[in-house]
Amino acid sequence: MCLLLPAGAELLQVPTRTIRRGDVLRVLPGERIPVDGEVLEGASAVDEAALTGESVLVAKGPGAAVAGGTVNYEGPITVRATATGADSTLAGRWVGDLCCLCSAGRRV
């Protein structure tokens, strides 16, 4: 579930699978960022360990890109979705990792 911010309406809690490119979301501290996006408002620090393997928090503010699957830590941010599901950064990374394993002759 995530918080959708429709134009001119109050926040709605909706299933993540219903989010589409261009939707605007509110991500609160401690929540996992549900989709790839661009920060529109707010400032925070994000744990990108799911992507980089490093647990150092990365500062994010307006204009910054965020990846689905990472965790928002310090403050609420408003994010416009840029990619969801199979088109997301994290999904692309897992596919790439699996392809590397397969091409190396390893069983997955």
Give yes or no for residue 48 having a pLDDT over 60.
yes
Contact 20, 6 (CB under 8 A): no
Q: Which phi and psi (to 5°) does residue 85 adopt?
A: 50, -130
Which domains, and CATH codes, for the chain? 2-103 (2.70.150.10)
Q: What is the mean pLDDT of the chain?
A: 84
Separation CA 8–CA 4 (nearest Å):
12
User: pLDDT tens digits, residue range 75-91?
Assistant: 999 999 998 876 667 66
* Those residues with Cβ within 8 angstroms of residue 95's Cβ, 6 or more apart along the chain or in another chain: none
Taking the CA atoms of residue 60, residue 45, residue 75 and residue 86 in that order, the dihedral angle to the nearest 10 degrees is: 70
What residues pair up with 41 in beta bridges, in sequence order? 78
What residues pair up with 35 in beta bridges, in sequence order? none
